[in-house]
A = this chain, B = another copy of it.
Amino acid sequence: MAILFYDLCGRDPALRFSPYCWRARMALAHKGLSVETVPTPFTEIAKVENGASATVPVINDGRAIVRDSFEIALYLDRTYPDPPALFAGDAGVAACRLIESWAFTTIHPIIMRMMARDIHDALCDADQTYFRSSRETRFGRTLEEHQTGVEANTEALIKALEPPRHALASFDWLGGGMPGFADFIVFGSLMWLRSIAGAVPLAADDRVALWFARCLDLNGGLARGARRAEAA
């Protein structure tokens, strides 16, 4: 039986932009697991698996319902122990927790400044109302004030990506010789940007851009063909 995978979607159900859902989607594919995806708008999450979670991703593999991208990755390595692994033992999990927080505190605020309003525009009507209200409360200003655009924040993004760029000077993957959940964390953040803004604004010879292209090719090009939002 395919694993049910609840994935955040836009007004266009084929538009999947959540960084956390991309992390989980890549983790499922990495483990060779087939999924049946359920496109889920923000305002439908409460109905997922009888209210199992306030956020997506959520999976149901017939044995368990698991929520949160990191918890899903841990569950997959534990429940489906055949290689390839997502984590290199406890040391790998601890490092990935640090990287998860680094992406959330350093990369995500920059991406939000790039496209907070554009995310809104890609949502269905009910989600637009929810997103505007919740994010404007969080930001303390309107989406229009918060979004200064891709170009205005590109230099900050390039600079903020120095830690993975440094790691990629020694290895093809943040997981070392093989991709792992460390890759999918950072990849998910950048897929969020690609899905809404259309592209990741890095020089073609930037090690992060070269690695991102390798990630797009993983699992039969699963992410490369993903829908991108139409320009506003």
Residues of A whose CB lies within 8 Å of any CB of B are: 87-102, 105-106, 159, 162-167, 169-171, 173-178, 180, 182
Contact = CB atoms under 8 A, between A and B. Distances in A.
A172 B192 CA distance: 32
A18 B59 CA distance: 47
Contacts of A182: 91, 94-95, 98
Residue of A92, A98, A173, A176 with most partner-chain B CB within 10 A: A98
B93 A95 contact: no
Copy count, this protein chain: 2
Interface of A is mostly: helix
A162 B88 contact: no
Scoring A100, A162, A169 by chain B CB atoms within 10 A of each residue's CB, the highest score goes to: A162
A176 to B, nearest CB: 3
A171 B216 CA distance: 32
